[in-house]
A = this chain, B = another copy of it.
């Protein structure tokens, strides 16, 4: 088994998304066969870029206040909220609060190399 605390995993800046970092908790580097688990943190007044891909996301909010925009819908998010984004839906995550907006994301391997 692998056990680690997310705080011990390096927070990598997203080069094209200022104020956004990602920690690769479990990935193909761990020989996980099916899907990866990542932890994202978005600073206040920052957001991921809106993008679309053919795989799904499952998200669980750990801390902060944010929002997700999927298609023409926006949903506010807080601790304990879960988001499921089906394949092919354009999506964007935004920090709407004054603290870090922190969430887990699960996504299939090997489609996870670009976000």
> Which residues of A92-109 are within 8 A (CB) of B?
104, 106, 108
Q: How many copies does the complex hold?
A: 2
What is the total number of residues of chain A having a CB less than 8 Å from a CB of chain B? 41
Chain B residue nearest to A1 (CB atoms) is B70
Q: Is A13 on the interface with B (CB-CB < 8 A)? A: no
Cβ of A3 under 8 Å from chain B = yes
A73 at the interface (CB under 8 A from B): yes
Known: A32-B56, A108-B34. A4 touches B85 (CB 8 A): no
Tell me the interface secondary structure of chain A in the complex. Answer: strand
Interface residues of A in 1-44 (CB under 8 A from B): 1-7, 25-26, 30-35, 37
Instruction: Report the bound CA distance from A75 to B4 in whole Å.
Output: 10
A56 touching B34 by the CB < 8 A rule?
yes
Given A37-B58, A106-B58: A81 and B3 within 8 A (CB)? yes
